């Protein structure tokens, strides 16, 4: 049990909490997206990797600290864009990272990448997912044990297995790295970062980190933030190193396997080629642990969130049970179906949330939340219109906007919205000052 607040104990607590945060982040998308991105990027794999890390690692770990440093995960967003819009955005994020998209995807990924390669179709998806979520339920039902179970027990084994795969793949590359198969490497990296969904998990995982620090005996806010900041750095460094290795493996695989493989098939082929039949058992352990730790973290985060926003009317344990049951139902749609319906949802939800996470750090210096409201509104409107065009082809003008090729066409409008918000606040303040005079 984590307890004291000084010296070596603080370092130990920070390390364990950081390992737990890494494992909660390192789930389904984190395993399947980097190799595929590397295969598509070819000789430009470093660019794709950096774009992926920017959206996935930097923003995620920054978000964990930012949300806790500015009043807590819920209050930070709601206090920046208004109670109702903030509640809607936070809830949308929690549902995406919990029972609607990310958590079902953990079970679907484990089934397609661990169970099917080893046992074929003899084990049905429904039967497997029932067992998977029963384990998730058992390990997440006690709120205070989530971080300890993941950080002390599951993460070290996960890191060791992934390290074996990457070291072998770097020492014995699958082939020469060829020309890029994609003409939009940077945009692909950003899109993969969205799909991994770690930046959205900030709301829930920030709550888990806060609970973990408090349970560990850190009563003072500054002590909690010290542990959370250190844990974010530990998790971020581990994620970046492992993503880099996985992206390289994918880049080196294109000449061996060619294009056309889907994401889960590619990582299976890479592991089998590098480690043989033994590799399939290693992959099964990696996938199982990665997805299980993420599912446990997401379940705990979702249940904790709804317990907070309902002021205890939805108890933590009830939230865990509901989350597990809904995830069980959705995961049986299959991995590709989940990824397909997730893409447009994430494209709309991610940009305004990213704006809030970044700008909330500067709210005190700005002296008002109006620029954040304007920036979030600008990002939301453009993201919504772009998603409508991507889905239905109804607004081709969206493809002409600046930074569209990088997936950041919402950014100029977020800046514009922020400026408009600041000007509106200044005008209202001048009007108020005149009235007072």
Q: How far apart are CA 84 and CA 369, in angstroms?
A: 14
Long-range contacts of 341-346 (CB under 8 A, 24+ apart): 341/101, 342/96, 342/101, 342/105, 342/195, 342/197, 343/195, 344/387, 344/390, 344/391, 345/96, 345/101, 346/96, 346/101, 346/194, 346/195, 346/197, 346/200
More confident residue, 81 or 379: 379
């709550």: which residue's tokens? 207
Q: Note the pLDDT of residue 134.
A: 96
Total residues found in the chain within this entry: 437
247 CB-near residues (< 8 Å, 6+ apart): 34, 35, 37, 38, 41, 45, 48, 49, 52
Other CB atoms within a 10 A radius of the CB of residue 412 amount to: 15
Q: In Å, how far from its chain's centre is CA 343?
A: 14
Q: Which of 14, 76, 25 is nearest to 55 (CA)?
A: 25
Other CB atoms within a 10 A radius of the CB of residue 363 amount to: 19
Boundaries of every domain in the chain: 7-346
Q: How far apart are CA 305 and CA 302, in angstroms?
A: 5
Reported confidence tier of residue 73, pLDDT bands at 50, 70, 90: low
- In angstroms and rounded to an integer, the radius of gyration of the C-alpha atoms of the chain is 22
Q: Is the pLDDT of residue 437 over 70?
A: no
Q: Give the pLDDT confidence of 367-388 residue by residue, as tens digits.
A: 889 999 999 999 999 999 999 9
Across the range 107-134, mean pLDDT stands at 88
Across the range 388-417, mean pLDDT stands at 88
Q: Is the pLDDT of residue 118 over 70?
A: yes
As to burial, measured by CB atoms within 10 angstroms (0-12 exposed, 13-18 middle, 19+ buried), residue 400 is exposed
Contact between 422 and 374 (Cβ < 8 Å)? yes
Domain 7-346 has CATH 3.40.50.2300: no
Mean pLDDT over all residues of the chain? 86
Q: Note the pLDDT of residue 313.
A: 95
Q: Is the pLDDT of residue 2 over 50?
A: no
Q: Give the pLDDT confidence of 172-186 residue by residue, as tens digits.
A: 988 888 888 888 898
Q: Give the pLDDT confidence of 206-257 residue by residue, as tens digits.
A: 888 888 888 888 888 888 888 999 999 999 999 999 999 999 999 998 878 7
Q: Note the pLDDT of residue 51.
A: 92
Q: Is the pLDDT of residue 5 over 50?
A: no
Among 21-30, 94-103, 270-279, which is the least confidently predicted range?
21-30
> In this structure, what token pair is assigned to residue 15?
């390390």
Q: How far apart are CA 132 and CA 291, in angstroms?
A: 10
Q: Give the pLDDT confidence of 37-50 residue by residue, as tens digits.
A: 999 999 999 999 99
Distances (CA, A) of 230 to 27, 121, 146, 154, 349: 21, 44, 19, 20, 28
Contact between 357 and 203 (Cβ < 8 Å)? no
Q: Is the pLDDT of residue 123 over 50?
A: yes
DSSP state, residue 199: T
More confident residue, 1 or 51: 51
Q: How far apart are CA 47 and CA 41, in angstroms?
A: 8
């Amino acid at each position: 049990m984590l307890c004291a607040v000084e010296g070596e104990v603080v370092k130990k607590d920070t390390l364990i909490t950081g390992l737990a945060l890494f494992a909660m982040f390192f789930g389904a998308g984190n395993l399947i997206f980097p190799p595929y991105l590397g295969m598509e990027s070819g000789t430009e794999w470093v660019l794709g990797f950096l774009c992926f890390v920017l959206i996935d690692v930097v923003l995620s770990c920054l978000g964990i600290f930012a949300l806790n440093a500015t009043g807590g995960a819920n209050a930070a967003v709601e206090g920046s864009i208004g109670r109702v819009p903030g509640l809607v955005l936070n809830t949308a994020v929690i549902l995406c990272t919990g029972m609607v998209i990310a958590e079902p995807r953990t079970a679907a990924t484990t089934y397609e990448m661990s169970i099917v390669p080893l046992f074929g179709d003899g084990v049905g998806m429904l039967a497997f997912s029932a067992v998977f979520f029963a384990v998730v339920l058992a390990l997440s039902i006690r709120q205070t044990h989530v971080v300890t179970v993941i950080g002390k027990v599951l993460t070290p084994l996960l890191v060791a297995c992934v390290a074996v795969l990457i070291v072998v793949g770097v020492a014995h590359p699958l082939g020469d790295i060829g020309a890029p198969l994609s003409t939009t490497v940077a945009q692909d990296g950003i899109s993969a970062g969205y799909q991994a969904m770690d930046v959205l998990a900030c709301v829930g995982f920030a709550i888990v980190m806060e609970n973990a620090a408090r349970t560990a005996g850190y009563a003072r806010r500054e002590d909690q933030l010290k542990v959370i900041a250190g844990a974010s750095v530990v998790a971020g460094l581990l994620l970046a190193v492992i993503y880099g290795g996985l992206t390289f493996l994918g880049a080196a695989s294109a000449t061996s396997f060619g294009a056309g493989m889907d994401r889960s098939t590619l990582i299976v082929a890479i592991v089998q080629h590098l480690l043989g039949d033994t590799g399939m058992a290693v992959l099964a352990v990696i996938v199982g642990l990665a997805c299980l730790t993420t599912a446990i973290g997401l379940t705990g985060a979702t249940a904790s969130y709804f317990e907070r926003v309902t002021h205890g009317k939805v108890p933590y344990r009830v939230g865990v049970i509901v989350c597990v049951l809904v995830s069980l139902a959705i995961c049986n749609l299959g991995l590709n179906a989940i990824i397909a319906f997730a893409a447009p949802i994430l494209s709309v939800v991610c940009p305004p949330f990213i704006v809030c996470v970044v700008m909330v750090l500067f709210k005190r210096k700005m002296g008002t939340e109006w620029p954040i409201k304007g920036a979030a509104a600008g990002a939301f409107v453009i993201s919504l219109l772009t998603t409508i065009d991507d889905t239905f082809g109804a607004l081709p003008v969206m493809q002409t906007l600046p930074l569209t090729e990088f997936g950041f066409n919402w950014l100029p409008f977020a800046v514009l919205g922020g400026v408009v918000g600041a000007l509106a606040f200044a005008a209202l303040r001048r009007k108020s000052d005149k009235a007072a005079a």
